[in-house]
Amino acid sequence: MKLTKKSHACIRLEKDGRTLVIDPGVFSEEDAAAGADAVLVTHEHPDHFDEERLRVALDANPAAAVWTLSSVAGRLSAAFPGRVHTVGNGDTFTAAGFDVQVHGELHAVIHPDLPRITNVGFLVDGSVFHPGDALTVPEESVDTLMLPVMAPWNKVSEVIEYVREVKPRRAIDIHDALLTDLARPVYDTHIANLGGAEHSRLASGESTDL
């Protein structure tokens, strides 16, 4: 499997000539979902879900499909009948040849005065876990954790504890558009020294083989 990091929270996974994209939002490139055979969306926030870009990708590939929670599916289902699938915690499915398990139910707390929305994480091929905007710990072991390093709902101590709880072999940064290049070494040092897993970050467009 080949993993390509796109800006912010979006990643592309490729295997056997097919492509799975997770969370192509407004902070990611306009073509982040282009050419996808399947798209997974963790929740409705625009930095994870750009409705217009996703519609363009689905129009361009009539065989492409989406798996997501009901709040997102409801905005797409009418336009793409039979191609938008609603999933929730505990569900399993196959998308573009990838086996996917769904974990989690709620977005992390941003502030107690703000109601929490739904959020799901996706474990792909029993290997790569993308949690969306939550610190969900799957019951299954995780080889590669996509790690949300900077958000209005977290701090670095929580990020480190999350790596420790999940116990992946490696953690790769996502949710990093709000983090300046000047501050990156601070996060890199703390997570690498304290997380207990191999830690790395990829530039937008950079790939690694898993």
| Tokens encoding 144 | 């590669």
Closest residue by Cα to residue 40 from 6, 59, 64: 64
Between 3.60.140.10, 3.40.50.720, 3.60.15.10, 3.40.640.10, what CATH number should domain 2-203 receive? 3.60.15.10
**Taking a C-beta distance cutoff of 8 angstroms, is the pair 45, 26 a contact?**
no
Across residues 39-46, what is the average pLDDT?
A: 98
Across residues 102-119, what is the average pLDDT?
A: 97
Instruction: Give the strand order in the sheet containing 11-15.
Output: 84-86, 65-68, 38-41, 18-22, 11-15, 2-5, 207-209
pLDDT of amino acid 29: 96
| pTM of the shown model | 0.97
Across residues 46-50, what is the average pLDDT?
A: 98
- Beta strand pairing status for 92-95 and 98-103? antiparallel
